Amino acid sequence: MGALPRKQETLASLQKDLEAATVAYVVDYRGLTVANLKEIRRELLKNNAKLTVAKNTLVRRAIENTAMSAMGPYLKGPTALALGMGDQIAPIKIIKEYLKKNKKENEVRGGALDGKPLSAQEVEALTKLPPLEELRAKLVGGIAYPTTGLVAALSGPQRALVQVLDQYAKQKQG
96 and 18 share a domain? Answer: yes
pTM assigned to the model: 0.73
pLDDT of residue 20: 85
In angstroms, how far is CA 33 from the centroid of its own chain? 24
78 and 145 share a domain? Answer: no
Name residues whose C-beta falls within 8 Å of residue 62's C-beta, 6 or more positions apart in sequence. Answer: 11, 14, 15, 18, 54
Give the residue numbers spanning the domain of 58.
3-129
**Distance in angstroms between the alpha carbons of the first and the last residue of the chain:** 99
140 and 115 share a domain? Answer: no
31 and 99 share a domain? Answer: yes
- Report yes or no: 122 and 116 within 8 Å, Cβ to Cβ: no
Name residues whose C-beta falls within 8 Å of residue 100's C-beta, 6 or more positions apart in sequence. Answer: none
22 and 79 share a domain? Answer: yes
- Report yes or no: 50 and 31 within 8 Å, Cβ to Cβ: no
Q: What is the CATH number of the domain that holds 30?
A: 3.30.70.1730
109 and 137 share a domain? Answer: no
112 and 135 share a domain? Answer: no
90 and 147 share a domain? Answer: no
CA 17 – CA 108 distance, rounded (Å): 20
**How much of the chain, in percent, has pLDDT values that exceed 70?**
98
159 and 125 share a domain? Answer: no
Per DSSP, the residues of 143-168 read HHHHHHHHHHHHHHHHHHHHHHHHHH
124 and 140 share a domain? Answer: no
78 and 135 share a domain? Answer: no
Task: Give the strand pairing for 80-84 and 108-113.
Answer: unpaired
**How much of the chain, in percent, has pLDDT values that exceed 90?**
7
Q: What is the pLDDT of residues 7-65, one digit of tens each?
A: 888 888 888 888 888 888 998 888 888 998 899 999 999 989 999 888 888 888 888 87
Number of domains in the chain: 2
